[in-house]
Every structure is written in structure tokens, then in C-alpha cells.
Amino acid sequence: MRARIRRAAAMLGAVCTAAVTMFVFAVGIGPVPALGTALMPGGGVWPSAEDARLPTDEQIRIPGLDRPVDVSFTADGVASVRASSDEDLFTAQGYLAARFRLVQMDVQRRLGKGRLAELNGPSGIDSDIFELTLGIHRTAKATWAATPRDGRAAKALTAYAAGVNARLAELEKNGQWPTVYGLTGVRPERWTPVDSLVVQGVLTQTLSFDTRPLTYALLSTSLGAKQASEWFPVLPANKQHPYDPGPYKDLGLAPLHSPNANAAVVADRPGVAGNGTSASAADAPRSASTPGPAATATPASARPDSADPATTSEATAEAATAVLRDMAKLPETTRHLYPNSNAWVANGPAAGGGALLAGDPHLKLALPSYWYQISLKSPGYDVTGSSLPGMPAVLIGRNADISWSITAVQNQSTFFYREKTDPRRPDSYFWKGAWRPVEKVKYTIPVRGGASVPIEVGLTVHGPLLTSKGETTSVEWMGNRPSQNLAALLDLNAATDWDSFRDALRSWQAPAQNFAYADKKGNIGVIAPGSYPQIASGDARGPLPGTGDSDVVGAIPFEAVPQVYNPPSGFVVTANQRPVGPDYPYYIGPAANFDAGYRTNRILAELSRPGRQHTADGFAALQNDVTDELAQRMVPKLLQALEGVKLTKQQKAARELLAGWNASMDVDSPAATIWFAFYGGYVEEVFRPWWDAAKVPVDIDPAGLDLLRTPVALMQALEKWTFTSPKDPAFTAPGKTRRTAPDAMRAAFTEAVAYLDGRLGGKPAEWKWGRIHERVVPSLTGAPSLGEGPYPAGGSPWTVNVAENGLRSDYGPSLRMVVGWNSAGKADARAIYPGGQSDNPASPWYKNLAPDWWEGSLRPLRTADEQGEGDIRWTLRSEG
């Protein structure tokens, strides 16, 4: 019944969304401005609604094509492209992206270039300031400058931009601009290769820029350095299951893959050269320093003395507070907050005798989706899967020989530096025994409906300055180093076996990703290419001294990064757990960076279940699994703690529900609700007294400090203490009577039942999980009417089918894909994502795929030849 309702809602939405869109833009909802006066025939909504009709067979003129390109669509909007040259292929891909995802692409470009306010008005200023400071656009320009013009990547980027610009030229000619441009009067600029690299940088930021070292600084100041270090260690407190168990070799350090495009240039540490200048956000070049004091050596006797440790801690916390308060004003996707994704592969015992792969990358959900499904065929490529609108090629998918998916490694790629400054030397910092000038880059942010905003960005040898409050703090982030990821991706798209797949990934740098692999010959593996920075000394869990002793000095060599191929077990799982064991000879990040391990444990348990035969259907079912592995192990401990305890009738009913529960977070399960309330209460019961006594500043960084979000390191510690050290001192609140894990569990259970009684009524059997837990897929505009849901939903932050970010979850599987290879080398490939192929809310292809995603169903993922002629056909021809 629930599935039929969702499908009916989707069909109704396709009919009436144009009217909803008009209403939204007329009155203004959330971040969408009220622009009712712009709703006029010939502009605004009307052309957008006209363009939203289902496409029909067309002949389309595209400048610069060498030969005609065939494009076909399924009834659901999935496109297949056949071209006679690789350049024509990517021109067509760029045209299709702009035809169906122009607004999304332009918003992502504006986000990375610091130009949201030009479209959104004053509400975009904070984001623009931060992005111009961080420097994605500067990095994209440096990447393009370092890209060989005769290589695959440059040709693909140039051709893709030509396709996007062909669509822009059409819109300029016919006036059928998407709604937002008709209403604001703002028009997207011509697309360039740099713009595609900016879009790449935005996703890199979402997957790898994090502020955990600043959070750790606040914890060290409030809890004390010793307790913060013990509770937030480098190595996880609980048992982990790395996919690369070793043995390992220490191969020394490799040089970093490229200079930091957002760091000051000094003779001791070459960076990216440039010229000092002022610029608008529309075209801000990379600059060297403005005139300032020359670097001067300082005799040892005159160098700044080490600050008092207490003073340093307070100043560090003040700086961390300033940066985190600024970050709180920005979209959640500005930094990496949650562990991302599941992927696993198996080659025995597999039905059909081949290898299988499952992948579901977890991101903040949105309409339109992050992904645009497409099949591409040319002399150099025959690939299908999910592309990133704004970028050529396929990021996750398969070709005729191999299949792959990705998960985030979660390694530390963001380092904060406490720069040594002196008020007597303004615009200078002390590094490597000398005072250095802070480089300056100036921008002007255009603001729709308001005055332009001038800003100035300071750069040190480590990277951009984020604050001067407390301590002058800079950030070094691996995403600010030019990376030839597209060259790697193009080679990967054309790879035919493990060796060519692995070789393709040698040039992949940021963000570090686990690439899961399965091929038609039955081989499986995982490799995690990327930049793994290594510092000379210091504790990278917190901000580091910026005087030179704790600088990044190299990276893990490619041959030593986590990797495994055809393991004896016959399967590999990567679900954001720490990928290597405790004896790995390199630093990859603290325990807080990685997943607690419960998704990994559940997937491993299923794959290793006696008598299990791996099938594509079984993999798809496991992607939708909502069994809570931690609950499987901890609920018996809770029941044991409750033995012999006098309980109320209501408490007994709750206990009995838990006793008969299978640990599945099903939407209709009351036991799931009781467990979730209990576990959250257990975390609070143990740690809240310590938080309160130490005055941990939760309001400054709720994402990292709020116990309701259950910080990973605390989950791991609590798991360990519960099972192996129930008398740990942590269970005894400061200044209170000594108690144990069972004592805390009983108190948490009592509080959970009382809470649920107040919220859901007095009958535990009616406390269904779906009454308090929902999923929602928000609209890019933020307008609720243009999103999907919320609907009652199963799952939790710790289930394979993850539902993260609160009881109204908007974070989870952005895509699900399963590929099964049989012994004859044929692929049974399927995929789904929660949206549709168009970003136009009035289009029937806006969210037509969402019902299948909600139900856990997959649709065929075919190559261009497998797809056939399709239901709709276009021919793209040159104007010449």
C-alpha cells in the first residue's frame, strides 16, 4: 500500500509541479526569493514549463561536431550516446548535462567560485566568502594550467564545455531559460574547462574537507588534554575489520603530487607562481604576495619564546571557536560530516561462477540527484553508469570488462596551523626561522539586489588564513593541490582488467577513495589511491604549530596505500572502516575520522554466513538491510542488566519487545524505537556528566560535540567498556557514587521508556519506529513542495541502509548499484537513485525514479549497445 501511494504521488507531482513551482517563486519559500512580478508570459516559469515536456525525436545542431552523434532515451529518461570520436562523445555529454541539469551545474559552479550571492542575493555572501578563502577556484585554474593540452583530460574538458555552451547558445536564442534565470534576470556564463574542475572541487570538498582538529582543540581545552586524548584516540578503541590486513611495508615517503595552489610562495618551499592583483570573484587570478616585508632570518636568541601551554590552549580554542562559528553559517555540504558509503565485492561462492559488486555512495540527499545516469560509446569508450553533472566521463559504473564503485577512505586530509605572528610585524608570520610576508588576494563579490562585497584573502606557506582571533590560523587541505583526477577517471573508464584499472588510479589524488572492483573474469579487489599527507612531527588530531616543525613533508607511496586483490576469503568490504590494521606504518587519521564499524560487521556477517551463495538479488537485498549489528550484541547485555530488577508494567512490556526482537530497524518495529531511545540515552547517561562538568561548548560545533549525534570515538569507547571493562571510571560521573556499565544501562532504559511514554503514549507495542523516524529528499531550492517526502522509514545511522542526520534523515544512499558477472563474462547490472534525470521540477523526469529507490528496487544499467534504439531518438549534427 505504501509503495502504491508513493507511485501515485509521483505521477500526480509530474502533472501539478509546474503550478507548485509558480506558487513557490511567487511567494518565496526558504532560500527561494519572492519574485511574483517576474511571473509573466514570455519569461520566468512559462518557458521552463514549456521546456519540461517529454522530449520527442529531434535533429539538433551542435557547432564543432565532426560527425553526427546518436542519442537515445529510455522512457525513464536514461540517455545512451554513440559517437564516432571521443571528442564528439564528450561534446554530446556536455550538451545533455546542460539540457537536463543546467541549474544544478551552474549552482555548483557558483558555489565553488564564490558567486552564489550573484544569483541568491545576500543569503549567499557567507558561502562566497568562505569558498573564495578556501580557494577551489584557484585550485581549478592551477589544475587546468597543469593539464597537458594534448592529453585525454584536456580534450574531454574542452569538448564537454563546447557541448554545454551549445545549449547556452540555444537558450539565448529561444529564450527558454530555466525558471530561476527568468525570475532573477541573471544568466549563466559560458562554460569553461575550469568550471568543470570547480565542480570536481566542490565534491572533493564535501568528501574530504573537515574541521575535526578544531573540534579536538575544544575538547582538549574543556576535558583536558589527557582525557581528550584517551577518549578520542588515533587507533579505534573497538575491534575493526580492515580490508587490507597486511603484512605492510614501510616504503618511505613519496613527494606530494603537486604544489599547494592556495599557499604563499617562498624560496624554501616552492608553490604556484603568480602576480599580485585585485580581482572580482568572476575572474580572480592566483596571486603572489603584495608588497610587504622581506623574509628575514632571526637569530636563535631573538626568536619568539614558546608560549605558555595554558595560554596557547586558550588561544587555540578561541581560534577554533571563531572558525567553527563561521562554518555553522554555511551549508552542511561545505565540510565532511558523516562517513560515506558501502561497497563490497565477492567471487566465491557466486551464482553463475563470476564476480559480483555492490556499491551505494552515501551523500546528503537532494533533488536533483548528484548523479546523471548515462551510457557512452565511442572508439575509446564503451561505459555506462553515473556521471557527475558538470564533469565528463562516468564516476561509478561498468564497461564491457570491469565494474567499480567508491567509498570515502576517511583519511585525514585537512590540517590546521597555528601561525606565529607578532603585532609589531603586521601581515607577517614566522616560519622556518624567518618572518614571511602574508600573500594577499583581493576579490569583489557581486550581490544580486545588494552592494558588492570586497574581501581580502591572506595566504601563508600552509594555506589560506581562516581567522586571526585568538591565534592566526591557516589550513592546509589536500583538495587545494591540483590533481589529475579526470585523467585517472578516463583511463579507468577504458580499463579492461585489474592491472589497467590500478594503473589508471596512480594519478588520482584528492579525495582519497576506496575503489571497489569486480571484473568479467571473476577477479575482485579494492585499492585506495589518493594523497595521504605525512607530517614531520606533532599531533595532527588538533591544530599544529606553524613554525615549520610540523609541516607536511610527503605522502604514502602508491604501492603502500591500502589495497587487496583476490583475497582467500572470496570477498572484500569497504564501508568507511579504518582500512588498515594498527601496525600499518603510516598515519592516516584518528579514530574519529572513520566509521564505528557496524555496517562493515553486518555486511561481513552476511557474506560469510555458512551456505550463502552470492547473487545480484542477494546483494541488492543487503543494500536495503536495516539490521543494527550493534543492537544484536548490546541488547543481550541490556537484558542481562535488567535481570532481577523491579520494573513497572510498561517497562516489562518494553523489555519483552527487546527480548523478542531480531535487531532490525524496520519501520513498523516498536523494539527498534526502544533500542534507539535506549542507546542514545546510554551515551548521554555516561558522557553527559563529564560534558557538563567540563563545560564542553556543544553550541559551537554541534556536529562534532553534541552527544545526540553520538561521536564515533565515544561509540567505540563505550562499546569496548560495556563488553570488556564494565567498571571503567568513565561510568562514574565526576564527584558521584561509583557505578558500572549495568548501572548506567538500567538508568538509560528507565529514561528511554519515560521519554517514549511522553512522546508516543503509554503502550510500548504502538511505539513503531516509523512514528518518529523519517526520510526526506530535499529540493535544491530548499522549497519543501519540490522535494520528496518525508515518509516513515526504516534504518538508522548504523545500518547498511544508512539513515543519517537525525530522526528526519536527509542523508543516505545517493545511488545504489549492483553488478553481477557470470562465467561467460556477461553482466547483470542494475542501479537506482532517488530522483530523476531532469532538474526541472515541472518535468516528468524530475523524480520519476524516486519510488523505486524508496522501495529498494533497481533498474537495468545497460551499455549503449545493450540499451538499443530507445524510446526517443536525437541526432546531433554540426552546424557546418
The cell numbers describing 852, all together, are 523505486
User: Residue 536's CB: how many other CB atoms inside 10 A?
Assistant: 12
Read off the pLDDT band of 782 (50, 70, 90). confident
pLDDT higher than 70, residue 48: no
pLDDT higher than 90, residue 34: no
Q: Distance between CA atoms of 511 and 339, rounded to whole angstroms? A: 13
Would you list the DSSP string of 90-109?
A: HHHHHHHHHHHHHHHHHHHH
Average pLDDT for 842-849: 93
- Mean of the per-residue pLDDT values for the chain? 89
Which residue, among 192, 214, 156, 168, has the nearest Cα to 282 in the 3D structure?
192
Which residue, among 202, 172, 16, has the nearest Cα to 98 in the 3D structure?
172
What is the identity of the amino acid at 824?
A: A
**Collapsing DSSP states into helix, strand and coil, what is residue 357?**
strand
User: For the CA atoms of the chain, what is the radius of gyration?
Assistant: 27
pLDDT higher than 80, residue 508: yes
Read off the pLDDT band of 517 (50, 70, 90). very high
**Which segment of 410-414, 704-708, 870-874 scores lowest on mean pLDDT?**
870-874
Helix pair 670-694, 741-760: axis angle to 10 deg? 120
**Collapsing DSSP states into helix, strand and coil, what is residue 55?**
coil
Helix pair 670-694, 649-659: axis angle to 10 deg? 110
Q: Distance between CA atoms of 434 and 299, rounded to whole angstroms? A: 9
Q: Distance between CA atoms of 879 and 868, rounded to whole angstroms? A: 27
Q: Rounded to two decimals, what is the model's pTM?
A: 0.91
- Residue in the structure block whose three cell numbers are 554466513: 609
Chain centroid, CA 4 distance in Å: 32
pLDDT higher than 90, residue 395: yes
Long-range interactions of 21-26: CB distance < 8 A, separation 24+:
21/45, 21/48, 21/49, 21/179, 21/786, 21/841, 21/842, 23/785, 24/781, 24/783, 24/785, 24/786, 25/179, 25/183
The cell numbers describing 79, all together, are 540517455
Q: Which residue has the higher pLDDT, 51 or 262?
A: 262
Which residue, among 673, 679, 559, has the nearest Cα to 248 in the 3D structure?
559
Q: Distance between CA atoms of 165 and 379, rounded to whole angstroms? A: 24
CA angle 255, 341, 383 (to 5 degrees): 80
Q: Distance between CA atoms of 485 and 503, rounded to whole angstroms? A: 13
pLDDT higher than 60, residue 271: no
CA angle 65, 68, 74 (to 5 degrees): 115
pLDDT digits (tens, 9 = 90+) for 655-691: 999 999 999 999 999 999 999 999 999 999 999 999 9
Q: Which residue has the higher pLDDT, 215 or 296?
A: 215
pLDDT digits (tens, 9 = 90+) for 358-391: 999 999 999 999 999 999 999 999 999 999 999 9
pLDDT higher than 80, residue 306: no
The cell numbers describing 732, all together, are 562514574
pLDDT higher than 90, residue 860: yes
Considering the chain, what percentage of its residues have pLDDT values greater than 70?
89
pLDDT higher than 80, residue 403: yes
CB 83 within 8 A of CB 69: yes
Q: Distance between CA atoms of 645 and 714, rounded to whole angstroms? A: 28
Q: Distance between CA atoms of 147 and 267, rounded to whole angstroms? A: 24
Which residue, among 647, 674, 679, 642, has the nearest Cα to 658 in the 3D structure?
674
Which residue, among 873, 732, 708, has the nearest Cα to 797 in the 3D structure?
708
Q: Distance between CA atoms of 13 and 433, rounded to whole angstroms? A: 65
CB 359 within 8 A of CB 516: yes
What is the identity of the amino acid at 487?
A: A
Q: Distance between CA atoms of 688 and 733, rounded to whole angstroms? A: 9
Phi, psi of 859 (to 5 degrees): -115, 155
Chain centroid, CA 39 distance in Å: 36
